[in-house]
Structure 1
Amino acid sequence: MRVVCIDDEQLALSFLERQLAKIAEVEVIGSFINPLEGKKFILREEPDVIFLDIDMTPLNGMEIAERVLEKLPDVILVFVTAYEAYAVNAFELNATDYIVKPLKFARLELTVNRIKKQLQPRQKKPISRSQSLRIRTTPSLAFETEPDVFKPLPWRTAKTQELFIFLLQNHDVVIEKSAIIELLWEDYELEKAHSLLYTTIYNIRKQLSPYQEHIDLRNHSYGYLLELNRVEIDFVEWLKAVKALPKLTTDTVADYERVMERYAGTYLANYDYTWLEAERYRYERLWLHTSNNIATFYYNQGKVNEAIRWYHYMIEHDPTIEKAHFELMKLYGKKGDFAAMMQQYTTLHKVWRTHFDAKPSDHIIAWYVDMMK
């Protein structure tokens, strides 16, 4: 077991080294009072275990751990602290253990024995995927675990899940730490918020470790960058397909329908994050706009039944689309199906009363009154 110790108090550091030397199979390969030098050594030598004091300058233990774990996600952390309050953060960071000063040999030996057991079966190799990793975003976030089988990841905390979804939505863009803190922990003191951020980033990296061939979360300047490699996200792929569609003609309308069938419903429907709304709205408006284009195309081609089918699709997706109700009323009137026209008008009235406590637009009411004369 190759160990590195970091503590900015020389007496505490020397005492920890002496105690570790009494335990079989432990080799202390480096000890540092300067946390920056210790971090560089760790990244170069890749030890099995780091004993790390938390309350240090210029970098505290949480910051060092977060930066080291970005490069060495499998390294084992043991936090050493004089303050019991830090223990909560240590567990949040999913450290193997924490030890409160003054250090006791029996407690240290217990921790080392636990680490030995942890090291024996450890599998360091990531899951190998020769093809793309597929991610589904509706109604919930889920990863493909076997062909056409998608399962959600068991996130450690709700904030871990939310931050990953936020980074995934903004992949290949550097997101500043300050922006993340404002989004998720704006009511916390800055020191506590940074600690929670490091913890959450660590938890994301641990959860994504089987997928590191495809997803890389890196420190970048003053923020984080989530990079994707051979990853297919359902909504992103759908958006690409829509934008690649040629001009709508008799020869291409079937291509439009096939692409639209891939729309699986509301983007990340099972999450109520406020920041999702803009992206959700963008996808929905594109779906509705393209659906309306298809319905209008069929109407202009004299294919009334096909146009009716697409206006019904639009209403099923969003019952408050007044234009779709009105177009259906006109199409039923054109077919001479006045019972269906009246039923659609009644449905529109109910929707408007339920959702807006109002009546439909005056021009629709006037059209309907004129049709019923």
Structure 2
Amino acid sequence: MDRSEKLTRIVIVDDEELALDYMKRLLGKLQGIHIAGAFTNPFVAKDYILLDDIDLAFLDVRLPEISGIELAHQILEHKPHIQIVFVTAYDKYAIQAFELNALDYLLKPVTTERLIKTMNRILKRNDQAASIPEDQPSLLHLQVFQHVVFTLPDQQPTVLQWRTKKAQELFLYLLQNHDQWVRKSVLIELLWPEYEEDKAYSLLYTAAYYLRKTIAPYHSFLDISNTNGGYILHTQNVLLDTERWESLLASAPQMNKESIHYYVKMMELYKGDYLQEYDFWWVESERQRLHKMWLSTSLKMAEWYRGNAQPEEAISIYEGICSRHPQAEEAYWGLMKTYADLNKKNLVNKWYDLLSSVLWEELHEKPNEQITNWFIEWQMAHA
């Protein structure tokens, strides 16, 4: 099979480890593909598929608690363009599979020749589909983690240029409260508290005018209306990265060997703190709320890696926390314990000293008693 410029991203789902490994070996021999995930748990697989950019799923028909047919139904409800290939030792499911418009149906044991035939069929179908325009509505991806970026399908990300800083702040406040009515008096108090009422309202109307002009290229996604003494920023087909991330976190499966990939992908969406590059005071509450969720999940992931003999991954996460949140004592302690596991005494001392230095310089405090006692006991045991 010829290597295409874009690799086909594949997920394999089979509750039997041997069968899963067999399919991975077969697919690994082919060019132009990337095995994004392999799962024995169908529910973890579903979560991962819905989160990631997957082109093709190989599903075993007979899975625990849910059939591959039903799993495909649930996946296609959310991502109708994912291609499905069923793999099973029983041909009695073939009619159901093709009623679901499955791309192919492979009987075990799958041969390399049969798999190549399936992949060639996929490439042919993809070439045909590429020439057919999609009638589904476009989606505006709006990034507000770290900075504000607008992205439409098949277009380069765009950073809007604002006429005034107040027009930008008005937009961001209305975006934070999108599809909700915001009283003009609240906006006046927020943006122009130092001005007389008449002057403040004049500045508000000017900022709203600039706001409308700036977001005009996205009028089918964003629209501001002036009604009943307030403004509403209406959104349609807008995907905010903060809302997507929080939704994924709320529905995240229990952390284990299979679901950890879900968490890795999910945390990649958190590119920085909410509106990190802006110093508006009203942002701080939402920024801290999301940051606490990120910190708690990051620590949980690092502890999972450490507890599952993957110290390098744990160290990477702990160091990332220390970089973003220099006063996060739990992360320094995690690094100390991880390096203690590896018997790297110098690095245990290094991270305790760094923590002590940061806390003293920033807060004039020492590490908490629990960390200090652990460090003293560790020193005594390794004297």
Q: TM-score, normalised by structure 2?
A: 0.60
Letter of the aligned partner of 2:348 in structure 1?
A: M
Q: For residues 323-334 of structure 1, what are the structure 2 equivalents within 5 Å?
A: 323-334=330-341
Letter of the aligned partner of 1:190 in structure 2?
A: E
Instruction: Give the aligned partner of residue 152 of structure 1.
Output: 159
Q: Distance in 1 between matches of 2:155 and 2:285?
A: 29
Q: Does 1:281 align with 2:291?
A: no
Q: Distance in 2 between matches of 1:368 and 1:138?
A: 36
Instruction: Give the aligned partner of residue 175 of structure 2.
Output: 168
Letter of the aligned partner of 2:303 in structure 1?
A: T
Q: Deviations over 1:56-90 (max 9, x none)?
A: xxxxxxxxxxxxxxxxxxxxxxxxxxxxxxxxxxx
CA offset at residue 141 of structure 1?
1.8
CA offset at residue 148 of structure 1?
5.7
Tell me, which stretches of 5 or more residues in structure 1 are unaligned?
A: 1-128
CA offset at residue 149 of structure 1?
2.2
C-alpha RMSD of matched pairs (Å):
1.9
Letter of the aligned partner of 2:222 in structure 1?
A: I
- Aligned match for 2:259, one of 238, 252, 255: 252
Q: Give 3-state SS (helix, strand or coil) of 1:225's partner.
A: strand
Q: Does 1:243 align with 2:250?
A: yes
Q: For residues 42-81 of structure 1, what are the structure 2 equivalents within 5 Å?
A: none
Q: Distance in 2 between matches of 1:232 and 1:175?
A: 21
Identity %: 35
| CA contact 1:136–1:150 (8 Å) conserved in 2 | no
| CA contact 1:291–1:310 (8 Å) conserved in 2 | yes
CA offset at residue 345 of structure 1?
0.9
Instruction: Give the aligned partner of residue 18 of structure 1.
Output: none
Q: Distance in 2 between matches of 1:275 and 1:236?
A: 18
Q: For residues 1-373 of structure 1, what are the structure 2 equivalents within 5 Å?
A: 130-144=137-151, 147=154, 149-373=156-380
Deviation larger for 129-138 or 271-280? 129-138
Q: Distance in 1 between matches of 2:214 and 2:374?
A: 58
CA offset at residue 283 of structure 1?
1.5
Q: Deviations over 1:278-333 (max 9, x none)?
A: 11111111111111111222233343443333222221221210011112212222
CA offset at residue 145 of structure 1?
6.2
| CA contact 1:322–1:348 (8 Å) conserved in 2 | yes
| CA contact 2:139–2:237 (8 Å) conserved in 1 | yes
Instruction: Give the aligned partner of residue 98 of structure 2.
Output: none
Q: Distance in 1 between matches of 2:313 and 2:215?
A: 45
Q: Deviations over 1:146-203 (max 9, x none)?
A: 7362222221111101100110111011111111011011111111111111121122
Q: Distance in 1 between matches of 2:147 and 2:369?
A: 40
CA offset at residue 139 of structure 1?
3.3
**Residues 1:302 and 1:362: Cα distance change in structure 2 (over 3 Å):** same
Deviation larger for 305-314 or 247-256? 305-314
Larger radius of gyration: 1
| CA contact 2:150–2:158 (8 Å) conserved in 1 | yes
Letter of the aligned partner of 1:326 in structure 2?
A: W
Q: Give 3-state SS (helix, strand or coil) of 2:300's partner.
A: helix
Q: Distance in 2 between matches of 1:247 and 1:150?
A: 34
**Residues 1:148 and 1:330: Cα distance change in structure 2 (over 3 Å):** farther
CA offset at residue 138 of structure 1?
4.1
**Residues 1:148 and 1:259: Cα distance change in structure 2 (over 3 Å):** farther
| CA contact 1:142–1:152 (8 Å) conserved in 2 | yes
**Residues 1:140 and 1:301: Cα distance change in structure 2 (over 3 Å):** closer
Q: TM-score, normalised by structure 1?
A: 0.62
Q: Distance in 1 between matches of 2:310 and 2:159?
A: 42
Q: Deviations over 1:329-353 (max 9, x none)?
A: 1222232221111111111112112
Q: Which runs of 4+ in 1 moved over 6 A?
A: none
Q: Deviations over 1:190-238 (max 9, x none)?
A: 1111111112112211222221111111123221111111112222222
